[in-house]
Amino acid sequence: MKFFIYCQISPDYKYSRIFDGLDVECKVVTAIQFLRLVFGRKETNTKYIYHIRYLLWRGFLLTLPMYCLIILACKLRKIPILFTCHNLVEHRYPSKFYNLCVRTLVCLASKHIIVLHEDIKNRLARFGHKTQVACFGDFRGFFEDKHQPNDVFNRGYQDWLKRRGIAAPDIMFVGRYTPYNDVGLLVRFLEGHSQINGLIVSDGCPIESSAENIFIFNRKVFAELEPILRSTGVVGCILICNLSISTSAYVYAGYKIPVMVRNKGPVASLIKKYKTGEVFDSQDDMHSALMQIKNNYQSYHSGMELFNHENNWQHSRKVHQAVLDQL
């Protein structure tokens, strides 16, 4: 059976890979467009689904009413709601309480919920009977297909490597800047260890540093990242400190890069389970975690192979297909 999926956000790389091979068609609509469509459409044999992948923020006055209208329309037209809960606390919500209210409403209205780690399912225990755990997969294809150069980054990065007399950084962080990615923690650590060279690529990052061993770039970079990820000896750093799954864990595992991670949330659970790196509790622990990885670099590869074997797009498709079949 073909599934016709309404959503407010077009499928990104992750969901394009998951839906690849499934008989689905996605239509991106605003809340108003959705209301017009569902009340104007004729009954067909097509299976319609409304997919909420992120909880969008439309301000204090509009966000909750928007979801109430969408849910009411789905109930009246008997369109099941599928909720993919990436984050328990969405990055753009200024209020955790408001976020909790919207998330609880959506969970109550959803026929099925998909999460990306068992830790998140455990936090949604009230809805455990309709929650399934899926995963992401290898992100190498994402970077291999990105050919858009960033000459400003490339010139600055190559100059930095020459000044430092190195072929690659010791440690790297790549990720969008959010309140839940504590880039400042890594900057402070590197400023206190001038012999360790760190690369930080974080779109929108307002943090600056005059330390010679740190290269910070605060705009998007694609083409130049792929060869850096293939570098030998580099250690990935994941700084997320909320209850969500960082795609960086999958990126680094795909390139066989061991990681150091804050000992908090689902990402730390993944790293400890598969032994793909080390966790740290505070800035004081970061040096020992990094040295542990540097001194035993190859020992993490078997864990990453197991990680990639058990967390892949094919497995995630099977979970999604099973959920779609029940809607």
Q: Which residues contact 60 (CB under 8 A, 6 or more apart)?
A: 95, 98
The pTM for the full model equals: 0.91
Place of tokens 């204090």: 60
pLDDT at 130: 97
* Exposure on the CB side of residue 60, measured as CA atoms within 13 A: 5
Measure Cα distances from 39 to 15, 27, 30, 79, 260 in Å: 27, 16, 14, 11, 51
Give yes or no for a contact between 71 and 105, defined as CB atoms under 8 angstroms apart. Answer: yes
Give yes or no for a contact between 242 and 114, defined as CB atoms under 8 angstroms apart. Answer: no
Cα separation, 217 vs 207, whole angstroms? 10
Q: Which residues contact 161 (CB under 8 A, 6 or more apart)?
A: 167, 168
- CATH fold of 3-137+312-326, please? Rossmann fold (3.40.50)
Give yes or no for a contact between 105 and 216, defined as CB atoms under 8 angstroms apart. Answer: no
pLDDT tens, the chain, 327 aa long: 789 999 999 999 999 999 998 999 999 999 999 999 888 766 666 789 999 999 999 999 999 999 999 999 999 999 999 999 988 988 889 999 999 999 999 999 999 999 999 999 999 999 999 999 999 999 998 888 888 899 999 999 999 999 999 999 999 999 989 888 899 999 999 999 999 999 999 999 999 999 999 999 999 999 999 999 999 899 999 998 888 888 999 999 999 999 999 998 899 999 999 999 999 999 999 999 999 999 999 999 999 999 999 999 999 999 999 999 999
**Which tokens go with 29?**
């609509």
Query: Which pLDDT tens digit goes with each residue over 12-39?
Result: 999 999 999 899 999 999 999 999 988 8
Give yes or no for a contact between 231 and 148, defined as CB atoms under 8 angstroms apart. Answer: no
Q: Which residues contact 264 (CB under 8 A, 6 or more apart)?
A: 241
Query: Which pLDDT tens digit goes with each residue over 96-105?
Result: 999 999 999 9
pLDDT at 197: 98
Cα separation, 29 vs 201, whole angstroms? 32
Cα separation, 215 vs 160, whole angstroms? 7
> What are the residue ranges spanned by the domains of the chain?
3-137+312-326, 140-310
pLDDT at 44: 64
pLDDT at 43: 61
Kindly list the strands in the beta sheet with 3-7, ordered across the sheet, starting from the edge strand earlier in the chain: 24-28, 3-7, 47-52, 81-85, 112-115, 131-133
Secondary structure of 163-221 as H, E, C letters: HHCCCCCCEEEECCCCCCECHHHHHHHHHCCCCCCEEEECCCCCCCCCCCCEEEECCCC
Query: Which pLDDT tens digit goes with each residue over 74-128?
Result: 999 999 999 999 889 888 899 999 999 999 999 999 999 999 999 999 999 999 9
- CATH fold of 140-310, please? Rossmann fold (3.40.50)
